[in-house]
Amino acid sequence: MSTGEPKSFDPPAPRDSLIAALLFVASMAALFATQASVGFVRDESMYFVAAESYARWFEQLLHAPAEALTDNAIVRAFDINHEHPALMKMLFGLSHLVFHDRLGVLPHAAAFRLPAFAVASLIPATIYLFGRSMYGGKAALWAAISFLLVPRQFFNAHLACFDVPIAAFWLLTAYTFLRAQREPRFWLWCGLWFGAALATKHNGWFLPFVLAPFALGRGWLLSRGDSEARAWLSRFVGLYAAVGVFFAVLWIAEGPGRFVQGFTPLSPASALLALLLVGTIAILRRLRRASPSVFRSVAPIGAMAILGPAIFYLHWPYLWHHPIERAAWYFDFHATHVHYAWFYLGKLLREPPFPLDYVVVKTALTVPVTIFLPMALGLAAVAARAAASLWRKWRPLLPSFEEAFVAANAVTPILIISHPNVPHFGGVKHWFPAMTFLAILGGACVWRAAHALLLALRPHWPALSEWGVALPMFMLLFVPPAIATARNHPYGTSYYSELAGGVPGAAILGMQRQFWSNNVTGVLGWLNEHAPPNARIWLHEVTGLAFQEYQANGMLRRDLQSAAGPWDAQIAVYQYHQEFREHEMNIWQAFGTRTPMTGLYLDETPQVIVYQRE
Amino acid sequence: MLPLAESALLLVAALGALYFQVSLPGKLVTEKDYREAAEALANEGKEGDVVLLYPWWTERARLFVPKAIPVVGYLGSDGDPLSAYARIWVLAQPRLPRSDLSGFERRFVPGRAPLGPPRPFGNLRLSLYRNGLHRPIAFSAVSEYASARVYLEQAGGARVDCPFDGKAHRCPGNETLHVAPEWHEMLYQPRFCLWMHPPGGSRRLVAEFPQARWGERLTLAAGIVGELAFHHEPELTPARVVVEQMASGQRLLEVTIPPGREGIVQDTRPAAGAGRDTVGLRLWVQSENPALRETCVELFSDRAATP
Looking at residue A427, its pLDDT comes to 80
Are residues B176 and B117 located together in one domain of the fold? Answer: no
Are residues B166 and B294 located together in one domain of the fold? Answer: yes
| Count of CA atoms in the C-beta half-sphere (13 A) of A402 | 23
Residue among A374, A377, A581 whose CB faces B226 most closely: A581
Collapsing DSSP to helix, strand or coil, A240 comes out as: helix
- Separation between Cα atoms, residue A520 and residue A555, nearest integer Å: 11
Are residues B143 and B111 located together in one domain of the fold? Answer: no
State the amino acid at position B225 in one-letter form: V
Identify whether B217 is part of a domain: yes
Are residues B67 and B91 located together in one domain of the fold? Answer: yes
With beta carbons under 8 A apart, name residues in chain B contacting A374.
10
Q: CA angle at residue A230 from A229 to A232, to 5 degrees? A: 65
User: Mean pLDDT over residues B23-47, rounded?
Assistant: 98
Are residues B156 and B288 located together in one domain of the fold? Answer: yes
Q: What is the pLDDT of residues A172-212, one digit of tens each?
A: 999 999 999 999 999 999 999 999 999 999 999 999 999 99
Residue among A498, A501, A606 whose CB faces B16 most closely: A498
**A6 confidence band (pLDDT: 50, 70, 90):** low
Residue B297, domain extent: 137-302
Are residues B173 and B113 located together in one domain of the fold? Answer: no
Pick the residue from chain B with its C-alpha nearest to A370.
B14
With beta carbons under 8 A apart, name residues in chain B contacting A369.
13, 16-17
Looking at residue B256, its pLDDT comes to 98
Q: Is the ipTM of this complex over 0.90?
A: yes
Identify the helix (H) or strand (E) that includes residue A319. Answer: helix A317-320
Identify whether B275 is part of a domain: yes
pTM: 0.96
**Nearest C-alpha of chain A: how many angstroms from B252?**
30
With beta carbons under 8 A apart, name residues in chain A contacting B225.
582
The DSSP string of B157-195 is S-EEE--B-SS-EE-TT-TT-EEEEEEEEETTEEEEEEE
Domain boundary pick from B99, B131, B163? B131
Say which CATH number the domain at B160 has: 2.60.120
Residue among A484, A579, A589 whose CB faces B21 most closely: A484
Indicate the number of domains in chain B.
2
Is the bond preceding A353 in cis, omega lying within 30 degrees of 0? yes
Count of CB atoms situated within 10 Å of the CB of A300 = 30
Chain B touched by A176 (CB under 8 Å)? no
> In the predicted model, what is the mean pLDDT of chain B?
96
Domain boundary pick from B69, B102, B131? B131
Q: What is the pLDDT of residues A394-436, one digit of tens each?
A: 999 999 999 999 999 999 999 999 999 998 887 899 999 999 9
User: Mean pLDDT over residues B253-260, rounded?
Assistant: 98
The DSSP string of A547-607 is HHHHHHTTSS-TT-EE-SSGGG-SEEEEE--GGGHHHHHHHHHHHT----SEEEEETTEEE
With beta carbons under 8 A apart, name residues in chain B contacting A502.
20, 24, 97
Percentage, residues of chain A above pLDDT 90: 95
**Nearest C-alpha of chain A: how many angstroms from B59?**
7
Is the separation of the CB atoms in A117 and A32 below 8 Å? yes
Are residues B48 and B162 located together in one domain of the fold? Answer: no
With beta carbons under 8 A apart, name residues in chain A contacting B13.
369-370, 373
With beta carbons under 8 A apart, name residues in chain B contacting A373.
9-10, 13
CA distances from A429 to A24, A35, A443 (A): 21, 18, 21
CA distances from A427 to A345, A431, B108 (A): 13, 9, 33
**Nearest C-alpha of chain B: how many angstroms from A597?**
7
**Quick check: A448 pLDDT over 60?**
yes
Are residues B113 and B231 located together in one domain of the fold? Answer: no
Are residues B127 and B161 located together in one domain of the fold? Answer: no
CB contacts < 8 A (A, B): 145
Chain B touched by A452 (CB under 8 Å)? yes
Are residues B189 and B295 located together in one domain of the fold? Answer: yes
| Partner-chain contact B7 A450, CB within 8 Å | yes
Pick the residue from chain A with its C-alpha nearest to B19.
A480
